Amino acid sequence: MSQPIIAIRRVSKAFPGVQALADVSIDVLPGELHAIVGENGAGKSTLMKILSGVLTDFEGELILEGKPVRFAGTRDAEAAGVSIIHQELNLVEQLSAAANIFLGREIRGWLGFRDDRAMDEAAGRLLRELECEVLPRSLAGSLRVGDQQLIEIAKALSLQSDILIMDEPTSALTESEVSRLYRVIERLRKRGVTILYISHKLDEIFHLSDRITVLRDGKLVRTLSTKETSPKVVTHLMVGREIEAIDFGSQRKAADVLLRVENLSLSWPGHARGWRLKDVSFELRRGEVLGIAGLMGAGRTELLECLFGAAAERPTGKIELLGQPVNFRHPGEACEAGIALVTEDRKRLGLFAAMNVGENISICTLDQTGLAGFINRSREWRIAGAASEQLAVKSSGLAAPITSLSGGNQQKCIIGRWLLTQPQVLLLDDPTRGVDVGAKAELYRLIDGLVRGDKAQGDKTSGGIGVIMTSSELPELLTVCDRILVLSEGRLTATFSRAEATEHKIMEAATLGRTALAAVS
Amino acid sequence: MTNSQGPRGLLRANEWALVISILLVVAGTAALDRSHSYVNYPVRSLQDNGRRLAPLGILALGAAVVIISGGIDLSLGSMAALSGTICATLLMALGGERFNSDEGAGPVVWCVAIAASLTAGLVVGTLHTWMITALRLPPFIVTLGSLVGLRSLARAFCYYMTGRFKDSSSEDLPFSDPFCDFLTERVELSLLLLAVLASGTWLILSRTVLGRHIYALGGNEQAARLSGIRTENVKWFAYTFSAVCASLTGMFYIAEAGAKPTTLANGYELNAIAAAVVGGCSLQGGIGTIPGTLLGAIFLRAVVDSVARIIKTSSDIYEGLIVGIVVVLAVTFSQLREIRQSRRQLFPGWLGILAIPCLALACGLAGLITIGSRTGLGGMLFALVVLVAWKALELRRSEVK
């Protein structure tokens, strides 16, 4: 066994109220791709922040190529050859690709003036090496996420980094961008770069990595060789318990039609394609979960927004709810009609960070708590408490700040918020994003219970509700949904029943439209 | 289930700190003031301060509601001037002979003038909201426009009205009226109005659905809309409320003897915003309380008065300086715990070194103009020594680490 390029020795880090890392030791060998996995809150990101110099205050030591080091900041880490590609990219959107790559280390020429041409040339070389067709002069903000990420990688290359940390690099990429990223990683490894790869997605990790380290609750569980283990073992180590394969969907009975959509179109002014959605038709029945699959930008979120009256433009086409044509101009109207939307980006579109758990749950149903516009606090608390109990939200009470909860529990609060409105149709936009494995299974069970109609608070005996859900993870849709619609470039390209759907077929339908459209234009 | 109703006591921690600070300032003034006016003439001191506190407090209520809703209203002072001008010119136009006479314009004319002024607030608030929601302009830009524009409009309106109803056109309209004198004398009336308004605003913010929606809008506008909240309506309430508050204060200002309506409340929008910020409102929106805002206004007033009494000058000269310092210090104090926890240096790097002589110079200048040249020089040297020592301490601590 050769000398480790980085040795992490008994590193601990405590935040107020949380032990983020406890006594973690990992050896990373030169040239390997070392995957770090764990549920949310397992301490992966904290560990990477320590390695890249973002966090400077911790216990334990780092040994880089045999020498103990202590980074005082990210610049120190970069100088020592450690770069990090954050999950949320750190680009200045108003500057060009080249300017971003050389930010803080601008090449200077005559009299110390900035030499833009030299930077553009150097950036062009780096980008070409990464199969990136982006021009060095183009503004970073105008690029797709995948290209922006390559700019960050180019920046790391320009720093001559030997160690590259990638934090969930594929979370926002399309399939083709993911395969390009795989090729880039392959190339980096040929150059001898050591890569620390953080991800939730086990298939990626098993495809790429040499060794896997599992963290749980801030502690090291084990480091395994990828060849000698299996996804099942790793999942088991991550959650510390077996996830039973639940058979959802059996004996579910789809009843009357709740929602009928005909020829729904949404225009996209100023875009070459001209539409976000084009002639989408489907129906949703009571007691079924309808999945919507599609790549990024296929129109999944836009479709849900149209149904909820929250789209940027007015959609055309027909939407019928319980046989009545509806045309929502504001989300408020959709709420009243019995539609609820749990948004995709929880932090940006769902949570009220300055409010507590109870206030976050009750925000949509305040009118029911009191008279004449006044809030009856004790009643509000009783209702919110019941919802929180029903969904088994883990918190230190309704008065706890919502930001103190884990992602999964925050999501439960938002679902609870909407269940209180007693919706007929529940729209879930990627509900398990940023939610750990254990909480995912709970959410699946919750969705199953809702469509079956055994919700505890429901005094209505009309049975279940209808759920439309999108997901960026196909296995999830295959587990939870009765039928799956596939969108591609805003068009509906296929509908599969649970029995006939496979990942392969869905992927084909999701990319089908693209090639066909490309051939036409 | 043992969920409590949340940790809402009477006041929050920062508000208790404000109460204590106010008491300290008042006690300090009573002791240091050489004529001991707080002790010898307590009623008159209270009246003086109450007269100035009432309009500041009402403006601060308006500013606070807009700030909590995630916006900003820079136009409060100009709005007050416009409403004061409308009120005064209408008194002149409708009062005829009785304008500026001893008997006064009379109740009917006053009612019409006040109603017109409040309507002006309603109109301006509605226009603000329309520009912000329909034209999607940033609130800062919209109200910056009104800050500059409304005062000029007030002058133009005054010019037109005096030309139309008086012998000669004038940009300003000094006037007096028995009702004004009555208002100025009976300070408790204006304080009562402030108390009633504050209670109403507090009730709305903390006990009604609309209030919760204001916090939600300020905390996360997108999420508020997607929760079915009619964000335009909530914004309309916030901006109209603040403009109407400004209209009300405008009438208080013209009540002061010999007031010129078009120049009144110049720059007071910033004092109002400062009071809200000192009271704990976050300019990011979604955070803040009415008791805090009121305490912030009282604290600002107390400090301004304290300086005026200790240094014996007209308080207006130092008011801006004091408000500026108090705002910066208040926000610094609210971050003190975080600074201590992260063990951040106060004077890092070359910027820190550059800041030390600048701070010392400012201290020296303050000493020079308030007390005298010797104190100024001494203060500057003293500040320099203390800050350099502090910097040396920080350097040593970072080396030890």
Q: Of A153-162, A302-311, B159-168, B179-188, where does the model show the most confidence?
A: A302-311
More confident call, B312 vs B247: B247
Do A331 and B212 make contact, defined as CB atoms within 8 angstroms? no
Number of domains comprising chain B: 2
Do B3 and A332 make contact, defined as CB atoms within 8 angstroms? no
Secondary structure element (H or E) that encloses residue A24, with its range: strand A18-28
Distance CA A407, CA A412 (A): 9
Q: A73 touching B, CB under 8 A? A: no
**pLDDT computed for residue A456 by the predictor:** 45
Which of B339, B357, B386 finishes a domain?
B339
Task: Output the domain CATH number for residue A368.
Answer: 3.40.50.300
Number of domains comprising chain A: 2
Helices (H), A97-211: 97-101, 116-129, 145-158, 175-190, 202-208
Between CA B261 and CA B267, with CA B264 as vertex, the angle to 5 degrees is 150
**pLDDT computed for residue A246 by the predictor:** 58
> Are B40 and B175 part of one and the same domain?
yes
B-chain residue closest to A386, CA distance: B1
B-chain residue closest to A341, CA distance: B226
Is residue B4 assigned to a domain?
no
Distance CA A311, CA A303 (A): 8
Residue A240 has pLDDT above 90, yes or no: no
Q: A496 falls in which pLDDT band (50, 70, 90)? A: very high
Residue B48 has pLDDT above 70, yes or no: yes
> Are A184 and A91 part of one and the same domain?
yes
Strand A33-37 versus strand A194-198 pairing type: parallel
Partners of residue B209 in chain A, C-beta under 8 Å: 366-367, 370, 373-375
Q: A460 falls in which pLDDT band (50, 70, 90)? A: very low
Nearest to residue A226, comparing CAs of A237, A238, A239, A212? A212
Residue B347 has pLDDT above 60, yes or no: yes
> Are A221 and A264 part of one and the same domain?
no
Write the CA distances from A509 to A261, A505, A514, integer angstroms. Answer: 20, 6, 9
> Are B115 and B157 part of one and the same domain?
yes
> Are B375 and B252 part of one and the same domain?
no
Which of B287, B310, B339 finishes a domain?
B339
> Are A170 and A57 part of one and the same domain?
yes
Is residue A422 assigned to a domain?
yes
Is residue B376 assigned to a domain?
yes
Is residue B380 assigned to a domain?
yes
The one-letter amino acid code at A90 reads: N
Secondary structure element (H or E) that encloses residue B235, with its range: helix B231-255
A501, A307 contact by CB (below 8 A): no
> Are A308 and A430 part of one and the same domain?
yes
DSSP secondary structure of B172-214: ------HHHHHHHH-HHHHHHHHHHHHHHHHHHHHHBHHHHHH
> Are B84 and B220 part of one and the same domain?
yes
Q: B314 touching A, CB under 8 A? A: no
Interface test with B, best of A355, A357, A362, A390 (most B CBs within 10 A): A355
> Are B176 and B299 part of one and the same domain?
yes
DSSP state of B316: H
Interface test with B, best of A329, A333, A366 (most B CBs within 10 A): A366
Q: B225 touching A, CB under 8 A? A: yes
Q: A16 falls in which pLDDT band (50, 70, 90)? A: low
Q: Over chain A, what is the mean pLDDT?
A: 84
Residue A514 has pLDDT above 70, yes or no: no
Is residue A368 assigned to a domain?
yes
Distance CA B319, CA B349 (A): 33
Q: B227 touching A, CB under 8 A? A: yes
In this prediction, the answer to ipTM > 0.90 reads: no
Percentage, residues of chain B above pLDDT 70: 96
Residue B318 has pLDDT above 70, yes or no: yes
Is residue B2 assigned to a domain?
no
B-chain residue closest to A374, CA distance: B208
Is residue B51 assigned to a domain?
yes
Is residue A227 assigned to a domain?
yes
Write the CA distances from A453 to A237, A286, A427, A517, integer angstroms. Answer: 34, 10, 16, 42
> Are A210 and A310 part of one and the same domain?
no
Do B3 and A398 make contact, defined as CB atoms within 8 angstroms? yes
> Are B268 and B301 part of one and the same domain?
yes
The predicted model gives B163-181 an average pLDDT of: 81
> Are A50 and A112 part of one and the same domain?
yes
The predicted model gives B322-348 an average pLDDT of: 81
Angstroms from B6 CA to nearest CA on chain A: 5
Instruction: Indicate the range of A93-97, A187-191, B6-10, B147-151 predicted with least confidence.
Output: B6-10
> Are B314 and B361 part of one and the same domain?
no
> Are B284 and B383 part of one and the same domain?
no
Residue B313 has pLDDT above 80, yes or no: no
Q: B396 touching A, CB under 8 A? A: no
Angstroms from A171 CA to nearest CA on chain B: 23
Instruction: Indicate the range of A100-109, A157-166, A433-442, A456-465 predicted with least confidence.
Output: A456-465
| Token pair in block for residue B145 | 């426009």
Nearest to residue A295, comparing CAs of A156, A486, A110? A486
**pLDDT computed for residue A515 by the predictor:** 46
Q: B99 falls in which pLDDT band (50, 70, 90)? A: confident
B149, B231 contact by CB (below 8 A): no
| Token pair in block for residue B156 | 């133009």
| Token pair in block for residue A144 | 């797709």
Query: Across the interface, which of A331, A349, A350 has its CB nearest the CB of B228?
Result: A331
Partners of residue A73 in chain B, C-beta under 8 Å: none
**Residue where the block lists tokens 């403006």:** B59
Segment 401-430 of chain A within 8 Å of chain B by CB: 417
> Are A383 and A477 part of one and the same domain?
yes
Segment 6-45 of chain B within 8 Å of chain A by CB: 6-7
Nearest to residue A50, comparing CAs of A87, A84, A81? A84
Is residue A249 assigned to a domain?
no
Global confidence as pTM: 0.81
DSSP state of A347: I
Do A375 and B219 make contact, defined as CB atoms within 8 angstroms? no
> Are B289 and B393 part of one and the same domain?
no
More confident call, B126 vs A172: B126
Q: Over chain B, what is the mean pLDDT?
A: 88
- What order do you get walking across the sheet with A316-321 strand by strand? A275-285, A257-267, A316-321, A324-326
The predicted model gives A46-64 an average pLDDT of: 87
**pLDDT computed for residue B216 by the predictor:** 96
Partners of residue A359 in chain B, C-beta under 8 Å: 212
Distance CA A90, CA A92 (A): 7
The predicted model gives A104-131 an average pLDDT of: 86
Do B215 and A354 make contact, defined as CB atoms within 8 angstroms? yes
Interface test with A, best of B2, B69, B227 (most A CBs within 10 A): B227
Q: B93 touching A, CB under 8 A? A: no
Q: B168 touching A, CB under 8 A? A: no
Q: B220 falls in which pLDDT band (50, 70, 90)? A: very high
Write the CA distances from B326 to B275, B296, B322, B346, integer angstroms. Answer: 9, 10, 6, 19
**pLDDT computed for residue A513 by the predictor:** 55
Partners of residue B220 in chain A, C-beta under 8 Å: 348-349, 351-353
**pLDDT computed for residue A495 by the predictor:** 93
Do A354 and B286 make contact, defined as CB atoms within 8 angstroms? yes
**pLDDT computed for residue A458 by the predictor:** 46
Is residue B8 assigned to a domain?
no
**pLDDT computed for residue B4 by the predictor:** 35
Model pLDDT for residues A133-176, shown as the tens digit of each residue: 888 888 888 887 778 888 888 888 888 888 999 988 877 677 77
More confident call, B198 vs A140: B198
Is residue A1 assigned to a domain?
no
Is residue A250 assigned to a domain?
no
Distance CA A217, CA A41 (A): 7
Query: Across the interface, which of B3, B225, B226 has its CB nearest the CB of A397?
Result: B3
Query: Across the interface, which of A310, A332, A356 has its CB nearest the CB of B6?
Result: A356
| Token pair in block for residue B382 | 């003293």
The predicted model gives A463-490 an average pLDDT of: 87
Partners of residue B216 in chain A, C-beta under 8 Å: 352, 355, 363
Task: Output the domain CATH number for residue B119.
Answer: 1.10.3470.10
Q: Quote the distance between the C-alpha of residue A227 and its chain's center.
A: 28
Do B207 and A375 make contact, defined as CB atoms within 8 angstroms? yes
Do B219 and A370 make contact, defined as CB atoms within 8 angstroms? no
Query: Across the interface, which of B209, B223, B225 has its CB nearest the CB of A375?
Result: B209
Partners of residue A353 in chain B, C-beta under 8 Å: 219-220, 286
The predicted model gives A365-381 an average pLDDT of: 87
Query: Across the interface, which of A349, A359, A367 has its CB nearest the CB of B226?
Result: A349
Partners of residue B4 in chain A, C-beta under 8 Å: 397, 399
Do A352 and B216 make contact, defined as CB atoms within 8 angstroms? yes
Partners of residue B215 in chain A, C-beta under 8 Å: 352, 354-355
Partners of residue A398 in chain B, C-beta under 8 Å: 3, 6
Which of B297, B319, B339 finishes a domain?
B339
Do B286 and A363 make contact, defined as CB atoms within 8 angstroms? no
Is residue A201 assigned to a domain?
yes
The predicted model gives A116-126 an average pLDDT of: 90
Is residue A121 assigned to a domain?
yes
The predicted model gives B357-371 an average pLDDT of: 89
Model pLDDT for residues A316-366, shown as the tens digit of each residue: 999 999 989 999 999 999 999 999 999 988 888 999 999 999 999 999 999
Q: B315 falls in which pLDDT band (50, 70, 90)? A: low
Domain that holds residue B388: 345-400
> Are B264 and B241 part of one and the same domain?
yes
Give CA torsion, residues B389, B394, B400, B401, to 10 deg: 170
Angstroms from A186 CA to nearest CA on chain B: 40
Q: A75 falls in which pLDDT band (50, 70, 90)? A: confident
Do B228 and A336 make contact, defined as CB atoms within 8 angstroms? yes
> Are B377 and B256 part of one and the same domain?
no
**pLDDT computed for residue B119 by the predictor:** 96
> Are A202 and A172 part of one and the same domain?
yes
> Are A95 and A163 part of one and the same domain?
yes
**pLDDT computed for residue A518 by the predictor:** 45
Query: Across the interface, which of A331, A356, A374 has its CB nearest the CB of B207?
Result: A374
Distance CA B211, CA B206 (A): 6
More confident call, A130 vs A283: A283
Q: Quote the distance between the C-alpha of residue A430 and its chain's center.
A: 8
Q: B100 falls in which pLDDT band (50, 70, 90)? A: confident
Partners of residue B69 in chain A, C-beta under 8 Å: none
Domain that holds residue A437: 257-520
Q: A363 touching B, CB under 8 A? A: yes
> Are B281 and B329 part of one and the same domain?
yes
